[in-house]
Amino acid sequence: MIEELGIRISLLLTIHSSLGERPMNIGESLTRNAQHFPDKRAIVDAHRSVTYVELHQRTDRLANYLLELGVGQGDLVGLSVGSRAEHFEALFAIAKIGAVAIPFDFNWSAQECDAMVRFFAPKAFFIEVRKETEALLRLARGAIPAEMLILIADGELYDGIGMESAVELGNPSEPQTIVDGKDPFLLMITSGTTGFPKACSINHETYALRCLNYSVSKGMNHNERALMALPVHFNAGRGSVMAILYLGGTIIIQEKFDAERFLQAIEREQITYTMLVPVLCERLLRSEHLNKYRTTSLRFLGITGGHLSQELAREARQRLSPGIFEAYASTDCGQITTVDAEDWETHGDTVGKPIWCVLLRFADNDGREVPRGEPGEICLRTPLAIQGYYRNPTATDEFLTGGWCHTGDIGFLDQEGYLHISGRKKNMVKSGGISVFPEEIEDALRRHPAVAEVAVVGFDSQQWGEAVQAFVVLNPGANCIADELIQLCKQSLAPYKAPKAVKFVAALPRTGLGKIDRGKLAALTNQLNEN
């Protein structure tokens, strides 16, 4: 199997480098597309439209501006710019000089921003001036020189230089910097539940391979017209845009998701590809405007950030796009498996089969491989994995133990080769010394007709060590009691897996990307059980 994986990777690299069509340097990919599609729209946002040749020329100037200030290979450059073309102009400029981009999340608190600025100490910073970045901007002004602070704003600027001024000041010639594919390109912050976040370091070659994987696996090409409403300061949103730009396609960016505007754009722009999280896909399907607009141009509808039910997948296939697919992926490993439209009908309880360049194994707590069909930690070998964690050798060693990438997810392969996810190793609840996976209980609770949404977490218990609590959102007008749901779990699962407590809530807390915020629920759970 390892030899087979090596052949697959070699084939990908051959395709990637043939005829110079797929350079392994992110900056060079823009140079190529500016030559092949100079007048083609690259990015359209709420503010302006940028062609490939304009994008190329502006990023050359920005790159040279940074070089003239002394920013060079290996230097960290902060990036806190929302869903607009300037985000990607900055990213390509950083790539062209071999510097390393470090995106900052709009949702970080002032304390988190302070810790991140101190830890990473970026040499320069691109910041969009908006309410969400006030704390970060204040910290950046105190940490770096004004000329190194490049601001994107619609109003008056102070203590910094405007993006347009930086473009004008930069030399228009091609930057004279040699950037190798093995050079780091981006630090992607993971959304860890505890402690200081980890920064995944990915080089140009690996990032390019991730972009190329889209075209290899789905048959996408430079004619794609993509609509993006996922925030680009998240890894999933940024990665989707970069994959299309790498191919030479066109990206239409909407800063905030609005169902009607989204549907209008699909029809008006003849959109061929989009990516949504499950909650946004459901919102689109429930929109009163769905039947007012044609979505027949939509060849690909990607789902990320969670699992779409069989019922919703079937409806999305019929009403939005026959080419719906779901990717099981992580920041650390890239895409691991995919579920296509046909898979949902017969294997909707799985996350699909491993993609062509992924080799899987499953390990117990001691790292020993478990027999096929038995649950274990999902480990893999893939050319899409990161090179490690920035300034965190301990986490890097844990992730890359024994030459395998350790995902932290628990699962198994069935006899047909489909991957089942049992739960998250870190989400696992140890109740009475027995491992309980919240996801399994959540699936059982969702079968009750009154249940709209559910999340399960553990809480400290003197009797059990940890006990299971379920947070449940009921369907409008539905009634249900806690004991009814507990008994439902006992009927379909081992009794010890049933929640010890059920709390009904109006809504579940979510992250900016729409994922359930289990950290907030865990904190709330312990508070409830202390009182």
Residue 382, C-beta contacts closer than 8 angstroms, at least 6 positions apart: 333, 334, 336, 357, 358, 359, 405
> Is residue 508 over pLDDT 80?
yes
Which tens digit of pLDDT belongs to each residue from 93-113?
999 999 999 999 887 778 778
Round to whole Å and give the CA distance between 208 and 242.
9
Q: What is the pLDDT of residue 161?
A: 92
Tokens in use for 415? 């006899």
Q: What is the pLDDT of residue 462?
A: 64
Q: What is the pLDDT of residue 20?
A: 43
Query: CA 317, CA 311: separation in Å to the nearest integer?
Result: 10
Residues 84 and 253: beta-carbon distance below 8 Å: yes
- Give pLDDT, residue 463: 63
**Tell me, what's the pLDDT at 246?**
94
| Residue 214 pLDDT > 90 | no
**pLDDT surpassing 70 at residue 526:** no
Query: For residue 516, is pLDDT > 50?
Result: yes
Q: Under CATH, what is the fold of the domain 25-214? A: Rossmann fold (3.40.50)
Does domain 427-530 fall under CATH 3.40.50.300? My reply is no
Please write the tens of the pLDDT for every residue from 19-32. Answer: 344 457 899 999 99
Work out the widest C-alpha separation in the chain, in whole angstroms. Answer: 71
**Is residue 465's pLDDT more than 90?**
no
CB 71 within 8 A of CB 62: no
What angle separates helix 278-285 from helix 259-269, to the nearest 10 degrees? 80
Whether pLDDT at 207 is above 50: yes
Cα-based distances in Å from 297 to 263, 274, 312, 462: 11, 11, 20, 57
pLDDT digits (tens, 9 = 90+) for 271-296: 999 999 888 898 999 999 999 999 99
Residue 432's pLDDT is what? 57
For residue 122, the model assigns a pLDDT of 97
d(C-alpha 173, C-alpha 57), whole Å? 8
Per-residue pLDDT, 512: 58
DSSP bridge pairs for 273: 226, 300
Measured CA to CA in angstroms, residue 308 lies from 228, 277, 305 at distances of 19, 9, 10
Distance CA 254, CA 262 (A): 8
Question: Do 66 and 93 form a contact (C-beta atoms < 8 A)?
Answer: yes
Domains of the chain, residue spans: 25-214, 427-530
69-79 residue pLDDT tens: 999 999 999 99
pLDDT: which is higher, 448 or 493: 448
Does residue 472 register a pLDDT over 60?
Answer: yes
Report whether 472 contacts 442 (CB < 8 A): no
25-214 matches 427-530 in fold = no
Pairing of β 124-128 and β 149-152: parallel
Secondary structure (DSSP) of 86-135: HHHHHHHHHHHTT-EEEE--TT--HHHHHHHHHHH--SEEEEE-SGGGHH
Half-sphere exposure of 87 (CA within 13 A, CB side): 27
Write down the pLDDT at residue 448.
Answer: 94
* The pTM of the whole model exceeds 0.85: no
Q: Which three-class secondary structure state does DSSP give residue 7?
A: helix
**Residue 464's pLDDT band (cuts 50, 70, 90):** low
Percent of the chain with pLDDT over 90: 61
Residues 6+ apart with CB under 8 A from 158: none
Distance CA 273, CA 299 (A): 6
pLDDT for 495 equals 78
Average pLDDT over residues 480-491: 91
Provide the pLDDT confidence category of residue 203 given band limits of 50, 70 and 90. very high
Asked whether the predicted pLDDT for residue 193 surpasses 90, the reply is no
Per-chain mean pLDDT for the chain: 87
Residue 348 has pLDDT above 90, yes or no: no
* 3 state SS of 339: strand
Return the axis-axis angle of helices 26-36 and 52-68, rounded to nearest 10°: 140
The pLDDT of residue 379 is: 96
Distance CA 331, CA 234 (A): 10
The predicted structure's pLDDT at residue 7: 47
Residues paired with residue 455 on neighbouring β-strands, in sequence order? 471
**Which pLDDT score is estimated for 434?**
64
**Any long-range contacts for 50-53 (C-beta under 8 Å, 24+ apart)?**
50/85, 50/89, 52/248
Read off the pLDDT of residues 405-454 as tens digits, 9 standing for 90 and up: 999 888 999 999 999 987 666 676 767 556 677 877 888 899 899 999 99
**Cα separation of 448 and 446, whole Å?**
5
The larger pLDDT score, comparing residue 249 to residue 521, is at 249
Tell which residue, 148, 156, 127, has the closest CA to residue 65.
Answer: 148
pLDDT at 192 over 50: no
Mean pLDDT of the region 218-244? 91
Say which residue, 11 or 213, is predicted with more confidence.
213
The DSSP-derived string for 128-173 is E-SGGGHHHHHHHHHHS-GGGEEEE-SS---SSEEHHHHHHHS-SS
- Structure tokens, 45: 């946002």
Is residue 108 within 8 A of residue 116, CB to CB? The reply is: yes
With a cut of 70, say whether residue 64 has pLDDT above it.
Answer: yes
For residue range 365-397, list pLDDT tens digits in order.
888 999 999 989 999 999 999 999 999 999 999
Residue closest to 521 by CA, chosen among 445, 457, 466, 465: 457
